[in-house]
Structure 1
Amino acid sequence: MAHHCCVPFCKNDARYDREKLLSFHSFPKDENLRKEWTMKIKRDEGPLFRIRKHTKVCSAHFKATDFKRTLTGRRDLRKGAVPSMFKWVSKSLEHHQPRAHHNVQNTTNQQSVHTERSNMAAKMVNTYRSGKLILDVSKSSEKDNKCDKFILSHYFNFSVGIIIPGVKELPKSLKKALQQDGMSVYFVKQVPLSLLISPFFLENFCRKGRLYMMSHGTKIDTEDCVALLPSGKLVMNLTKDTYERLGLEGKKSQFHDTRHHRYVVILNLLDASFAPGKKTYERVKWAFTDRLNLFYNMLVSWIPHSCDVSSSSVSTFFETHGLFSVLVGLKDKTNTFTDIKVPIVNSQEPNGTVESCDFEDLFDWLGSVSCDCINSDDLNGFLPLYEASDKILTNCLSYETRGFILPQTVQKLLHDLKDIVVDQNLPFVALTVHGFNDTPTTWDTREHGFQNNGDNLYTYVIFPDGTSWCYTAIGAFDTFI
């Protein structure tokens, strides 16, 4: 009888395997091992899927070490073998040395799992992919440079969610970090772009601090959106009409199509050639004044390099030019759950085991808690498909704050959570950060993929053993730092 593979997205069929390179294997009779197989292939027995004697998994989903040869040359599975090679998992946790061209140092404290991504901006370590959900596994013993770079280059954060099992109130250290002392945020009305390239503004704000500015109230798919990054780059995501009237050099948006004619212009305001009297500067000044005078409502925050200078100076600057400026804060919401079951998670097994859930199930659980639909007794609630702990925790805190949250604040929150999970011996803690829907960039100058699955968020899950999982949900055409 010709067999075919029952794994989702696998099209292997014995009828088309003319060279007999594949073998097809029945499900084990042992109930625990069979359960692990169904969990790995992400299928549940029910009306749409029944395991029979002809239900097979092909050899493409097993490692080479899972097989043995019989005396007759037949390839059989070893006892206890479990399928682990799937399209939704790029690499297993199998340890191997990095290839030379990865240019990544291997250390004894770091598992070496390296995958090629031609469409990514950088090689990534310990990475698993499920569609556009990416998981990065790291240890606290590793340097925090990569984590800090990741957080600090995600400039425009709209909301931060914190989930702490076993805690009733938000710890004081987190409350203090969320005050954003010395990092005030202002809403400024009708800011002319010509003002942002004035010599005084460039010298006193762009060069002497980290400036975060983004247009507010404009839709990135139908209107113009701009952002001034702390690197001094002015990013403009423009409609075709604005781009042609402005007269500056740019490029087509990677999401440019028949319905969305968009262009991206990036100006480096700190470049040596961008100075009064220079050709580039005079061209931009002409475009912003004589050609097309553009105004935007903007969210603004400035962190001066000098401790002797107040961050409110930027608000004073705009007010002296007759612009309305008002200080804006954060709005928060807290939920405390009681008698909640927390999934069993093995920090060293992101793909899950018989006893623990995998990284996708944990991500679903975190989402259900943050959306307040964790109550499985409610028909409209979240129905857990993960392994739940027998231990009932008295409390589980779900906290969310919204506004303009600076990356330095997120960085401080993450460092404080690493101490909290160890000091209070918690199973894990989670931090989720959402970017603005209509910001023209995600990480650094990378264009935000608003058209197709324009997700712009990441989640850190921190374990007491020092391991952390970083989930990144990005748009279908977004690139990753």
Structure 2
Amino acid sequence: MSADPQRTLRSLLVSERSSFLEEKNRLSAQAQEHHLNYKVSVLLPECSSAPSHLDAALKSFSSFYLIRKLPLYELLDKQFLETAVYQGSVYGLSYRSRIDQENCVALTPNGRLSLSLDKDSYELLGVEGKPSRFNHRTTSRFVVSVDLTDSSMAPGGRGYQRLLTGLTSHVQLQSDFLLSHHPGGGAALQSLLSRYDWSEHSPEVSSRSLTHLSCPTLLTSDLQSCDPHSFLEWLGAVDADIGCENSSSSFLSSLVCPEPTVTASRSLSVSVCGLLLPQDVHRLIQELRCYLEQPRLAPWVALTVHGFTDSPVSWGNSEHGVLTGGENFYTLLLFHDHTYRLHLATGAPHTCPP
């Protein structure tokens, strides 16, 4: 088989630079819009171990819950709406459901319930939606997006009753479900948890020490100092523990570190995995800023936040799907002078990141 290079699906990459000292910088809003995160990776050049304040931030991500075989109509339960959805920010996602093959559901902190459904489930549900933008030759998937905070979706309302009837009588969808709440954690979810088999999980933290790491010479936040695609390729290879030496005897990788380069004698790569809340990511970013205020041999650090591949949404309420890789992530380069460089990436044909 051969692939036509002209038909290769493109990806979207938005790059910008700004400063934390700039009042109009959009970083906080952009990070908050990336609701459903499964991994945060941090690279600290010229560092052998994270200082205590940074280590505490990496280990203090909020816990989350896995509810097994949750009927989706439970997300419309009146008590759940009143104690969780209306009172704070709920983050929820169907677990291990493949968005290109199965029904997937997400509940985002703005109170929006998003369902990505196969054709049969959508027709049985009987609720208005629209064809997925990730259909191929035939319309086989549909998306339904419901604002649970809208007056029409108040318990007893017409829209609420129609969706509830669809989920209880027409198509009884259920899924293992990841769920978290901010603020308050499990207290707001207790009434729902008490009715099902569930377990609480803390995000998993892992670290690797790296020696003699070739790094791009990133001295400023100038976007022209290093090609974004090459830099992200290199950073991804470091995170995945793939060598970038590109020696003649290696056939595993042709990746190289963007030039000009500098060798970091020691570096630290740290990752946190789980259902990660944007609030915790924001706190980690603030701690990385504090870290850079101390005298260091390297003038920058990098943080990458990965969204779930099989999430029905990526940024905000934008539909997400899988055609090639399902990628949706952003990388933040922080510099000691409080400037930063932000790269937001997603696959085609997604909506352009904010």
What TM-score does the superposition give when structure 2 sets the normalisation length? Answer: 0.89
Q: Does 1:412 align with 2:283?
A: yes
Matched residues in 2 for 1:210 and 1:442: separation? 17
The equivalent of 1:169 in structure 2 is: 49
The equivalent of 1:179 in structure 2 is: 59
Aligned counterpart in structure 1 of residue 327 of structure 2, from 455, 458, 475: 455
* Aligned-residue identity in percent: 31
Matched residues in 2 for 1:424 and 1:272: separation? 54
Q: Is the 8 A contact 1:318 1:324 kept in 2?
A: no
Q: Is the 8 A contact 1:453 1:474 kept in 2?
A: no
Greater Cα radius of gyration, structure 1 or 2: 1
Q: Is the 8 A contact 1:421 1:464 kept in 2?
A: yes
Q: Is the 8 A contact 1:318 1:325 kept in 2?
A: no
The equivalent of 2:87 in structure 1 is: 208
Q: Is the 8 A contact 1:160 1:431 kept in 2?
A: yes
Deviation at 1:263, TM superposition (A): 0.5
Aligned counterpart in structure 1 of residue 144 of structure 2, from 261, 265, 268: 265
AA of the residue aligned to 2:115: M
The equivalent of 1:242 in structure 2 is: 121
Matched residues in 2 for 1:377 and 1:469: separation? 27
Q: Is the 8 A contact 1:302 1:314 kept in 2?
A: yes
Q: Does 1:399 align with 2:267?
A: no
Deviation at 1:453, TM superposition (A): 4.7
- After superposition, give the CA deviation of every residue in 1:214-258 in whole Å (9 maximum; x if it has no partner): 100110001000011111111001000100011111011111233
AA of the residue aligned to 2:26: K
The equivalent of 1:287 in structure 2 is: 166
Q: Does 1:350 align with 2:228?
A: no
Q: Please list every run of 5 or more consecutive structure 1 residues that lacks an aligned counterpart in the other structure.
A: 1-129, 305-309
Matched residues in 2 for 1:385 and 1:446: separation? 32
AA of the residue aligned to 2:15: L
The equivalent of 2:236 in structure 1 is: 367
Between the two proteins, the alignment pairs up a number of residues equal to 340
Matched residues in 2 for 1:247 and 1:402: separation? 37
Deviation at 1:384, TM superposition (A): 3.2
Name the SS for the 1:273 alignment partner: helix
Matched residues in 2 for 1:198 and 1:269: separation? 11
Aligned counterpart in structure 1 of residue 292 of structure 2, from 416, 421, 444: 421
The equivalent of 2:192 in structure 1 is: 318
Q: Is the 8 A contact 2:105 2:114 kept in 1?
A: yes
Matched residues in 1 for 2:45 and 2:234: separation? 12
Deviation at 1:281, TM superposition (A): 1.6
Matched residues in 2 for 1:461 and 1:385: separation? 15
Q: Is the 8 A contact 1:216 1:297 kept in 2?
A: yes
Q: Is the 8 A contact 1:365 1:374 kept in 2?
A: no
Q: Is the 8 A contact 1:315 1:325 kept in 2?
A: no
What TM-score does the superposition give when structure 1 sets the normalisation length? Answer: 0.66
Q: 1:260 to 1:428 in 2, by over 3 A?
A: farther
- After superposition, give the CA deviation of every residue in 1:71-112 in whole Å (9 maximum; x if it has no partner): xxxxxxxxxxxxxxxxxxxxxxxxxxxxxxxxxxxxxxxxxx
Q: Is the 8 A contact 2:134 2:323 kept in 1?
A: yes
Matched residues in 2 for 1:131 and 1:295: separation? 33
Q: Is the 8 A contact 1:186 1:315 kept in 2?
A: no
Name the SS for the 1:472 alignment partner: strand
Q: Please list every run of 5 or more consecutive structure 2 residues that lacks an aligned counterpart in the other structure.
A: 1-9
Matched residues in 1 for 2:141 and 2:246: separation? 48
- After superposition, give the CA deviation of every residue in 1:429-457 in whole Å (9 maximum; x if it has no partner): 00011111101000111011311453111
Matched residues in 2 for 1:335 and 1:456: separation? 24
Q: 1:452 to 1:143 in 2, by over 3 A?
A: farther
**Structure that is richer in strand per residue:** 2
Q: Is the 8 A contact 2:59 2:205 kept in 1?
A: no
Q: 1:277 to 1:334 in 2, by over 3 A?
A: closer
Q: Is the 8 A contact 1:237 1:264 kept in 2?
A: yes
Name the SS for the 1:372 alignment partner: coil
Q: 1:278 to 1:168 in 2, by over 3 A?
A: same
Q: 1:398 to 1:418 in 2, by over 3 A?
A: same
Q: Does 1:336 align with 2:209?
A: yes
AA of the residue aligned to 1:171: P
The equivalent of 1:10 in structure 2 is: none
Deviation at 1:285, TM superposition (A): 1.6
Aligned counterpart in structure 1 of residue 99 of structure 2, from 195, 217, 220: 220
Deviation at 1:148, TM superposition (A): 0.9
Mapping of residues 76-225 of structure 1, within 5 Å: 132-143=12-23, 146-180=26-60, 183-225=62-104
Matched residues in 2 for 1:187 and 1:410: separation? 21
**Structure that is richer in helix per residue:** 2
Matched residues in 2 for 1:364 and 1:473: separation? 12
Q: Is the 8 A contact 2:311 2:321 kept in 1?
A: no
Name the SS for the 2:152 alignment partner: coil
Name the SS for the 1:142 alignment partner: coil
Q: Is the 8 A contact 1:170 1:399 kept in 2?
A: no
Matched residues in 1 for 2:17 and 2:265: separation? 29
